[in-house]
Amino acid sequence: MKVYGITNCNTVKKALDWLKANHVKYEFHDFKKLGISEEKLLEWDHKAGYENFLNKKGLTWKQLDPQVKESIKTSADALKLLQQKTSMIKRPVIEKDDFLFFGFDEAAYDKFIK
């Protein structure tokens, strides 16, 4: 299982605490240190649609110039921006087999990860 996120994100911390408490082994990919590949973003977009992992509620999105926000018309536009500004990816991203999940939801984790 792989977990993508940033270490100082409270939601990522909750998820990692849950995984540890439930003795789930995982590999952590830190967006800030390692970035994210175009191929991985394309994979997530294909599986879930970028709208599900483009975090428009976060500070990074809110601080964007309105023209940049309005320029996001296609998947390609969104993925290019997400690769540049990984803080706009909804966190954490959990990959386990066919399970792909964005964010922290204890019920979903109980059902699909345990």
pLDDT given for residue 41 in this prediction: 98
pLDDT given for residue 99 in this prediction: 86
Domain range enclosing 100? 2-112
pTM exceeds 0.85 for this model: yes
Q: Which residues of the chain have pLDDT under 50?
A: none
Q: Out of 4, 5, 6, 9, pick the active-site residue.
A: 9
Residues 6 or more apart whose Cβ sits within 8 Å of residue 89: 4, 31, 36, 53, 54, 55, 82, 102
pLDDT given for residue 68 in this prediction: 95
Helix locations, the chain, DSSP H: 10-21, 31-34, 38-48, 59-62, 66-70, 75-84, 106-112
9 catalytic per annotation: yes
Find the CATH number of the domain harbouring 98. Answer: 3.40.30.10
Report the domain count for the chain: 1
pLDDT given for residue 77 in this prediction: 97
